[in-house]
Amino acid sequence: MSLKAQWYRDKLAKKSRQGFCGYPVATVAFYGPDDTRATKVSVGIVTHEGADADPVERWFCETSDARTDPAVTEQIVRFIEQHGARSVAAIDRIIGCPHEEGTDYPEGETCPRCPFWANRDRWTGEIIS
């Protein structure tokens, strides 16, 4: 990994470890077809308590892992800085399928392209019976 890529990755990790430092808050979530490779990252800006994330930006990686892709990490940091986020809330694991219910597959159904997540709790990763 290049020095520049490591710098952006460290900057994002440090901002996330600092905890809540006020609004706006950037939320960072990684998604993938399973729990080993993130193919999508979604970053939203929450301007005040109770607000929905707006704007929301998404990046996709077909061949690399979005968590370690230098170009994606740089774009995430730049997006967060551009919107003046004072806090970053990020989960360091993949939390679900990269496809969007109601857009990529029908509402109320499981994603046909990501069977790994069909019977799995997205927050714990445990299988739901």
pLDDT tens digit sequence for 65-92:
999 999 999 999 999 999 999 999 998 8
Is 122 within a domain? Answer: no
Is 110 within a domain? Answer: yes
Is 127 within a domain? Answer: no
pLDDT at residue number 92: 82
Is 23 within a domain? Answer: yes
Using an 8 Å Cβ cutoff, are 120 and 66 in contact? no
Is 113 within a domain? Answer: yes
Is 48 within a domain? Answer: yes
pLDDT tens digit sequence for 13-66:
999 999 999 999 999 999 999 999 999 999 999 999 999 999 999 999 999 999
Pairing of the two strands 56-60 and 40-46: antiparallel
Q: What is the pTM of this model?
A: 0.92
